[in-house]
C-alpha cells in the first residue's frame, strides 16, 4: 500500500477496475431495492439476535437459549455495529468527490460515539497527529488484527453489487484507518461476500469467490480454508469444525493474549463462515450457529446474517424477525441522522453512482452492472507473524518493578479490581527487566494523562502521550496499550519509563496509569 493513498479521493480509487471479457449482469430495480432492504434488515436482526450472548462464551461454545421477540429489533438503533458504518457512509456523502481517507479518518476520530480496541487506538493515533495508513499499522496499533474493520465493512459490499474489485479498493483505503494485515483482510472478505451475494445464490460459491479478494497465503485465508475443509470432512457437525479452528487458531490473538477473550479478525471470521456453511441458507440457523461459536457473537451473527439478507432480499426474511421493522423504519440510529429507510436510500444512491462510474448503466427498470470478479491486488501483509505471549508482569507483583518518585496505588473498581500504579510527577521513573523479543505496557489513558519517555536498553525509542478526552483502558480486556515494541532481538532487555516535564496542553495532569507489562517471544 502506497502511503499516498491518503490523498486519493475514495470515489476515484477503483476507477480502473475492469470486468473480465466485458461481462455484465442485470438486476431488476425492484430486486435491487429488496436486496438492499434485506441487507440492512438482516444486519439489524443479526446484531440483536446475538447481542445478549456477546463474550459470554470464551474459548467454549454457547449452549444456553437464544431468546427473540420482534420488538427486540428496536435496540439495533443503539448498536455500534451499525451506526459506526453509517457514519462512514455519511462522511462519503458529505465530502463527495473530494473524499479522502484522511478526511474520513478525521470525521471518524472526532465523532461523538465511543470506540474500543483498533478503532480506539486509531482515534488516539489521529489525535496524536498520525494519518492513515500509519494509524492502522502494527507499529502504531497493536490491535491491527482485531475485528473492528470486519464489523463495520458491510456497507462497502452493499454499495458495490457485483463490483468486488471496487469494493476491495475502498476497503483497502478505509480499512487502513484502523487495520492492517488480517484485520484489513477480514473487512475485505466480508465486503466481498456481500458484493458477490447480489448475484450468487449458493453460499459455498460466495465464500470461495470472496476468498479471492484476499491473499491466499495470509493467515486469515488459511483459517477460512480450514473451516471449508473441515466442513467437507464433517458436514453435519459444526462443533467438530469449531474444535478444529479453536485448537489451531484461537491462541493467535496479540490484542489480549492473557485472556480467553478473543477479537482476532480471522477467528471471528471463521465463526461467520461456520454459521454460513452449516446454516444452509436458513437465517435463524445461520445466526444461531455463529452465536454458539462464542466470542463476539453479535458482530459475527450480524455479518453472517447480512450475507443472507443480500442474497435472499427483505421479502424472504422470516416474518418473526422483521415484523417490527416498519414500526421503527424512520427512527434514527444513535449518533446519526440515519434511519433504516434513509440508509436504504443512501445505499441505492451510492450503488447507482458506482454502477455508472465502473462502466455499467441504468435503464428504466434495471441496473446493468459490469461484473468484477474478486481479485486481490497488493502484497501480503501480516501484523505480528511471529509474536506470542511469553509471560506477564502485573503491578500487584512488586518484584518485577523498580519505581522511583511519586507513584501511588490506584484501583478503578466497578468491575475492574486490578491494582494500578500511577505516577503523579515529572521525573517519576519505572524500570523493568525482561527476556524475550517484545514488550508492551498496559494501563489507561485519561483526561489527566501525562507524557513519558521510553528507553529500551538505554536508548530513547519513543515519547508517549497518555492524554485522552475521556477515561480509556479501565476494563481488563480493553486496556490502553501505552507502548509496544514486538521487534526486539531475542534476549534480555531493560525498559525504562520517565515521566516528562511536558504534557499535552489539554491534559489536567502528568499522571501515567500502569497496570501490567506483557513480554513476547518469537515462535
Residue 39 within any structural domain of the chain: yes
- Mean pLDDT in runs of 10 for the chain (523 residues)? 34 42 89 98 98 96 97 97 96 95 97 95 98 98 98 98 98 98 98 98 98 98 98 98 97 89 97 98 98 98 98 98 98 97 98 97 97 95 94 91 96 92 98 97 98 98 97 91 97 98 97 97 88
Task: Report CA dihedral (144, 149, 150, 151) to the nearest 10 degrees.
Answer: 130
Residue 373 CB neighbour total at 10 angstroms? 14
Q: Is the dihedral of CA 353, 355, 357, 362 positive or negative?
A: negative
pLDDT computed for residue 48 by the predictor: 98
**C-alpha torsion 298→34→312→289, nearest 10:** 10
Number of H helices, E strands in the chain: 17, 14
* Count of residues in the chain: 523
Place of cell 492492517: 180
Q: What domain count does the chain have?
A: 2
Is there a domain that residue 422 lies in? Answer: yes
In a domain, 11, yes or no: no
Q: Is residue 381 part of a domain?
A: no
Predicted pLDDT of residue 2: 35
The dihedral region occupied by 488, where left means phi > 0, alpha psi between -120 and 50, and beta the remainder, is: beta
Tell me the CA distances in angstroms from 390 to 250, 386, 437, one per residue in order: 16, 12, 9
Order of all β-strands in the sheet with 402-404: 402-404, 429-435, 492-499, 451-456, 459-465
Half-sphere exposure of 52 (CA within 13 A, CB side): 12
CATH number reported for the structural domain that contains residue 436 in this entry: 2.60.120.260
Report the CATH number at residue 292.
Answer: 1.10.4080.10
Asked whether 273 and 242 are in contact (CB, 8 A), the reply is: no
Residue at which a domain ends, from 338, 370, 402: 370
Same domain, 328 and 244: yes
pLDDT at 22: 66
In a domain, residue 8? The reply is no
Is the domain of 237 the same as that of 117?
Answer: yes
Range of the domain at 483: 387-522
CA contacts within 13 A on the Cβ side of 80: 16
The answer to whether residue 397 is domain-embedded is yes
Q: Verify that 406 and 292 share a domain, yes or no.
A: no
Q: Is residue 221 part of a domain?
A: yes
Cα 296 to Cα 291: distance, rounded to the nearest angstrom: 8
Q: What's the pLDDT at 440?
A: 98
Backbone torsions φ then ψ of 384, nearest 5 degrees: -135, 70
Task: Give the integer Cα–Cα distance in Å for 298 and 45.
Answer: 10
Q: Is residue 43 part of a domain?
A: yes
> Which of 336, 370, 404 delimits the end of a domain?
370
Amino acid at each position: 500500500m502506497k502511503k499516498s493513498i491518503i490523498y486519493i479521493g475514495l470515489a476515484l480509487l477503483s476507477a480502473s477496475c475492469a470486468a473480465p471479457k466485458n461481462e455484465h449482469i442485470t438486476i431488476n430495480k425492484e430486486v435491487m431495492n429488496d436486496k438492499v432492504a434485506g441487507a440492512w434488515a438482516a444486519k439489524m436482526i443479526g446484531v440483536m439476535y446475538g447481542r445478549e450472548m456477546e463474550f459470554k462464551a470464551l474459548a467454549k461454545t454457547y449452549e444456553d437459549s437464544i431468546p427473540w421477540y420482534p420488538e427486540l429489533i428496536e435496540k439495533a438503533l443503539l448498536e455500534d455495529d451499525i451506526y459506526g458504518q453509517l457514519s462512514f457512509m455519511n462522511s462519503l456523502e458529505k465530502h463527495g468527490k473530494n473524499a479522502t481517507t484522511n478526511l474520513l479518518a478525521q470525521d471518524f476520530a472526532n465523532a461523538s460515539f465511543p470506540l474500543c480496541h483498533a478503532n480506539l487506538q486509531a482515534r488516539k493515533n489521529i489525535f496524536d497527529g498520525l494519518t492513515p495508513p500509519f494509524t492502522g499499522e502494527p507499529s502504531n496499533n497493536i490491535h491491527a488484527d482485531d475485528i473492528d474493520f470486519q464489523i463495520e465493512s458491510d456497507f462497502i459490499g452493499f454499495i458495490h453489487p457485483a463490483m468486488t474489485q471496487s469494493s476491495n479498493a475502498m476497503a483497502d483505503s478505509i480499512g487502513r484507518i484502523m487495520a492492517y494485515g488480517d484485520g484489513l483482510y477480514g473487512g475485505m472478505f466480508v465486503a466481498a461476500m456481500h458484493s458477490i451475494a447480489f448475484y450468487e445464490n449458493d453460499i459455498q460459491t460466495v465464500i470461495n469467490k470472496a476468498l479471492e479478494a484476499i491473499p491466499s497465503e495470509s493467515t486469515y485465508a488459511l483459517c477460512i480454508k480450514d473451516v471449508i475443509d473441515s466442513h467437507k470432512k464433517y458436514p453435519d457437525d459444526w462443533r467438530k469444525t469449531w474444535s478444529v479452528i479453536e485448537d489451531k487458531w484461537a491462541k493467535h490473538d496479540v490484542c489480549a493474549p492473557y485472556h480467553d477473550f478473543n477479537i482476532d479478525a480471522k477467528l471471528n471470521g471463521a465463526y461467520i463462515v461456520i454459521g454460513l456453511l452449516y446454516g444452509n441458507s436458513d437465517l435463524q440457523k445461520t445466526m444461531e450457529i455463529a452465536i454458539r461459536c462464542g466470542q463476539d457473537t453479535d458482530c459475527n451473527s450480524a455479518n453472517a446474517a447480512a450475507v443472507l439478507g443480500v442474497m435472499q432480499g427483505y421479502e424472504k426474511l422470516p416474518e418473526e424477525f422483521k415484523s417490527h421493522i416498519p414500526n421503527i423504519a424512520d427512527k434514527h440510529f444513535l449518533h446519526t441522522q440515519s434511519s433504516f429507510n434513509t440508509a436504504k436510500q443512501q445505499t441505492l444512491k451510492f450503488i447507482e453512482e458506482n454502477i455508472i462510474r465502473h462502466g455499467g448503466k441504468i435503464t428504466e427498470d434495471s441496473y446493468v452492472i459490469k461484473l468484477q470478479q474478486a481479485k486481490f491486488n497488493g502484497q501480503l501483509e501480516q501484523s505480528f507473524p511471529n509474536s506470542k505471549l511469553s509471560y506477564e508482569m502485573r503491578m500487584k507483583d512488586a518484584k518485577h518493578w523498580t519505581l522511583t518518585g511519586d507513584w501511588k496505588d490506584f484501583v478503578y473498581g466497578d468491575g475492574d479490581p486490578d491494582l494500578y500504579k500511577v505516577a503523579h510527577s515529572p521525573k517519576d521513573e519505572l524500570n523493568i527487566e525482561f527476556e524475550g523479543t517484545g514488550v508492551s505496557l498496559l494501563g489507561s489513558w485519561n483526561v489527566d494523562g501525562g507524557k513519558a519517555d521510553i528507553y529500551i536498553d538505554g536508548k530513547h525509542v519513543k515519547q508517549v502521550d497518555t492524554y485522552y478526552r475521556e477515561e480509556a483502558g479501565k476494563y481488563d480486556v480493553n486496556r490502553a496499550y501505552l507502548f509496544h515494541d514486538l521487534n526486539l532481538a531475542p534476549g534480555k532487555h531493560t525498559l525504562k519509563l520517565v515521566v516528562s516535564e511536558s504534557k499535552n496542553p489539554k491534559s489536567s495532569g502528568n499522571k501515567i496509569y500502569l497496570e501490567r507489562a506483557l513480554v513476547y517471544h518469537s515462535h
